[in-house]
Amino acid sequence: MKTPRSFARIETWVFDLDNTLYPHHVNLWQQVDTRIREFVAAWLNVSSEEAFRIQKDYYRRFGTTMRGMMTLHGVHADDFLAYVHRIDHSPLEPNPALGAAIARLPGRKLILTNGSTDHVDAVLARLGIGEHFEAVFDIIAAELEPKPAPQTYQRFLAAHSVDPTKAAMFEDLARNLVIPHQLGMATVLVVPDGTKEVVREDWELEGRDEAHVDYVTDDLTGFLEELAKQNPA
């Protein structure tokens, strides 16, 4: 029986962006997913079906499709990111309750994402919660090495002077919590609301019972509200 880590000493709250700070059922990432497939198909001159196979293969092997395309096909990150994040953010709605819950947490709040800063800015603007975050560590800051690469977390910790033993990480992919947990962070897996339809592959939803996942929630706002009560700022 695993004993989840306490939030009592947490000084830094680290959040993934996509499918973490907004609900999975919005399926905003599905738009990005489609544009990634379009990019792969056009760059490699293959069918949509073949592009889909390549996309998912690279995602699993390299952490992001972009990393695979860069490594194997000479794609430039700026070109890839500019194309795939040109999406309609209007499905996102302001979430003042989430913003208030984040604001009540004691300490710093940071974002660690495999996406780009431009995408982060667009999402936070729609949610109306940008003011609560001190900084964003994106794929460019990670020197184009995505989570779950160990060196990405090390770069993040060093860049923002984060003590991992006094930090908590919120993520929607369990595999991205392995290294944070090894480093001493309290980990929270944010899963889809079971009452809503989501577009995810089975492997992306695995891992909730693993030892490196301290907590699981399908309601981030409610979870943070309870934390704020236990750890007032």
Evaluate whether residue 188 is within a structural domain: yes
Tell me the CA distances in angstroms from 71 to 67, 136, 166, one per residue in order.
6, 25, 35
Question: Same domain, yes or no, for 203 and 105?
Answer: yes
Evaluate whether residue 147 is within a structural domain: yes
pLDDT of residue 202: 60
Find the domain containing 67 and state its range. 29-84
Evaluate whether residue 2 is within a structural domain: no
Evaluate whether residue 1 is within a structural domain: no
Sign of the CA dihedral with 91 first, then 93, 115, and 120 last: positive
pLDDT of residue 183: 97
Question: Same domain, yes or no, for 112 and 194?
Answer: yes
Evaluate whether residue 3 is within a structural domain: no
Question: Same domain, yes or no, for 139 and 206?
Answer: yes
pLDDT of residue 9: 92
Evaluate whether residue 6 is within a structural domain: no
3-state helix, strand, coil in the chain (%, to 5): 50, 10, 40
Over the chain (233 residues), the average pLDDT of each successive run of 10 is 86 96 85 95 97 94 92 95 92 95 96 94 96 97 93 98 98 95 97 65 66 94 90 64
Residue 190, CB-side half-sphere exposure with 13 Å CA sphere:
23
Domain ends where: 42, 64, 84? 84
Helices (H), the chain: 28-44, 48-62, 65-73, 77-84, 96-104, 117-127, 150-159, 178-183, 220-230
Question: Same domain, yes or no, for 57 and 171?
Answer: no
pLDDT of residue 119: 92
Question: Same domain, yes or no, for 136 and 191?
Answer: yes
Question: Same domain, yes or no, for 100 and 189?
Answer: yes
Question: Same domain, yes or no, for 57 and 166?
Answer: no
CATH number at residue 143: 3.40.50.1000
pLDDT of residue 198: 54
pLDDT of residue 200: 57
Question: Same domain, yes or no, for 178 and 67?
Answer: no
Question: Same domain, yes or no, for 139 and 119?
Answer: yes
pLDDT of residue 25: 80
pLDDT of residue 230: 77
pLDDT of residue 63: 82
Evaluate whether residue 4 is within a structural domain: no
User: Rounded CA gap, 169 and 173, in Å?
Assistant: 11
Question: Same domain, yes or no, for 74 and 181?
Answer: no
Tell me the CA distances in angstroms from 201 to 48, 129, 191, 195, one per residue in order.
18, 28, 13, 17
Question: Same domain, yes or no, for 16 and 52?
Answer: no
Evaluate whether residue 190 is within a structural domain: yes
Question: Same domain, yes or no, for 117 and 75?
Answer: no
Task: Count the domains in the chain.
Answer: 2
CATH number at residue 48: 1.10.150.450
